[in-house]
Amino acid sequence: MKIKLKHITVLFTLLSLGSIIYGFMLEQEQSQTAQKFIGLGTIGLFLVAMPLFLYKESKGKNMKDYMLTKDNIKKMQDQEKKKAGKE
């Protein structure tokens, strides 16, 4: 059975959100434990799930297409001129 990166990302996201929700449910009774669950959930979201998602979505894409270089700026300006000319 092959586990895909998509499934791992969804699993970490759900676990992190579950941890945060559980921490908020414990807030009144055990504040120390609740803060740990909320913190671990937040760390899981931003240091594990988000980088996995970004890696999965950016795989196979050329980063030069998304950088502001002189060539890309000229292309954007040319596209704006074409749009303005059509209207």
Residues 20-64: tens digit of each pLDDT: 999 999 877 788 899 999 999 999 999 999 999 998 888 888 877
Q: Is residue 77 part of a domain?
A: no
Given a contact cutoff of 8 angstroms between Cβ atoms, the answer to whether 81 and 73 are in contact is no
* Tokens coding 75: 């292309």
The answer to whether residue 86 is domain-embedded is: no
25 occurs within a structural domain: yes
Residue 39 lies in a domain: yes
On whether residue 71 sits in a domain, the answer given is no
Position 73 pLDDT exceeds 90: no
Q: How many domains does the chain have?
A: 1
Structural domain of 18: 5-61
Q: Would the pLDDT of 87 be above 80?
A: no
